[in-house]
Amino acid sequence: MKKLPLPVQNDERYLTSLASNHKLTSINPHLRVNADSIKAQYAHYMQQLGNAWNIIPNVITDELKSALIKSYETRQDDELKFIKNMRDTIDETCSMCGGKFPWSIDHVLPKSDYPEWAIFSKNLVPACRCNIRRGTLLKGSPATNARVLHPYFDDEFETRQLSCLITTTNHFRWIKVEIVYIQPNHPAINSIKYHVENIVKRSGLEKYLSRTLWSKLMNQPGLAIRGLYERETLTVANVIHLIEQDLRWFDDRTGTPNNWDSIFLHGLLNSPRVVDFVTQHHNQFVLNGGLTN
Ligand SMILES: [Zn+2]
C-alpha cells in the first residue's frame, strides 16, 4: 500500500504508434479503427480518477479485446517498453500490498474485465505476487461502494492505516497477529478494508509478521529491531525508543507507513506486555553471549 506518482507516458502517442505499426498486422486494424474511442476511454479514466465504481467500460468486440491484451502481453512496439521499465523499477515496497520487492505488473482494473485499459499506463502498477493472488477482485458490495484503492489516485496509503494486535501462546514462543485498522471512522474505511482483505492479507501479511519477523526477533533480536545489536542490556524505555526509531526508518525508507515492517513495529509499540518480553529476551540474549535459550 503505497501512493505512487502518476506515470509520465503519453498514452495517446503510443496508441497511435501501435495502430500504425505495420509489423503488427493482426493487431493494428482493430486499434486503428477504434483509436479514438479508446483515447476517449483513457480520458474518462482520468476524469473518474481510476475509481472502479465510476468508470464505465464500452462494449467492445472480441477482436479489439484480443488486440489490446495481445499488445500488452507481447509488447512488440518500442513505445510499450515503458511497461518493462515499470516492472524493473527498483522499488523495495509493493504499491498494492506493502510487501517487499514488486516484480510484476498489476492492472488496477483487471485487463480481462476492462481490456480498454490493458495498456493504459495509469492503469498499470508495479506489484508483487499479490497480483496473482488478487486475481480479478475489484469491487465489494454496491451498498458500501468498497473497492480496490488506486496507488496513483487515492491518498489513503499516504497515512498510517494499519497496525497489529499481538497475542502470544506458549510463553511467547509463538504469536498470533490480528490486523487492526488505525482509523476505523475514516471516510474510505470500507475500501481500505476491502483492499486489505483482498490484496494485503492474501499476499501473506499476517504470516510475515507472526512467523518471519517473530522468528527473527526470537532467534536474533537485532535482525528484527535494529539497535538491539548492542551488546548491552537495556531498559523497557530504551527498547521503546529503538522501536520508535526503527518505525520512522522503515516509513522513510519505503516511502509509506503501510509497509509490513512498520505494521509490525507499530503493533509492538501498542503491546506493553510484548515490549516487556522483548526487553527481557534481548537482555537474556546479551547475558548468554548472543545465544538464544
Ligand atoms: Zn504486493
d(CA 19, CA 32): 5
Amino acid 231: pLDDT = 74
d(CA 184, CA 2): 19
What tens digit of pLDDT does each residue of 205-220 get?
999 999 999 999 999 8
Amino acid 230: pLDDT = 65
- Report the half-sphere exposure of 49 (CA within 13 A, side-chain side): 8
The Å distance, Cα 138 to ligand 1 centre, comes to 15
pTM across the whole model? 0.93
The Å distance, Cα 121 to ligand 1 centre, comes to 18
Amino acid 291: pLDDT = 66
The Å distance, Cα 267 to ligand 1 centre, comes to 21
The Å distance, Cα 55 to ligand 1 centre, comes to 24
The Å distance, Cα 45 to ligand 1 centre, comes to 23
DSSP 82-115: HHHHHHH---SB-TTTS-B---EEEESS-TTT-G
Q: Are 260 and 209 in contact (CB under 8 A)?
A: yes
Residue 124 phi, psi (nearest 5): -110, 130
Which residues in the chain land under pLDDT 70?
Answer: 90, 230, 291-293
Q: Are 110 and 18 in contact (CB under 8 A)?
A: no
The Å distance, Cα 90 to ligand 1 centre, comes to 14
The Å distance, Cα 1 to ligand 1 centre, comes to 8
Which position has the grid cell 469491487? 139
- Cβ within 8 Å of residue 114, ≥6 positions away: 55, 57, 107, 123
For ligand 1, an ion, list residues with CB under 5 A: 94, 96-97, 99, 127-128, 130, 203
The Å distance, Cα 89 to ligand 1 centre, comes to 14
Which position has the grid cell 486494424? 29
DSSP 290: S
The Å distance, Cα 173 to ligand 1 centre, comes to 28
The Å distance, Cα 102 to ligand 1 centre, comes to 6
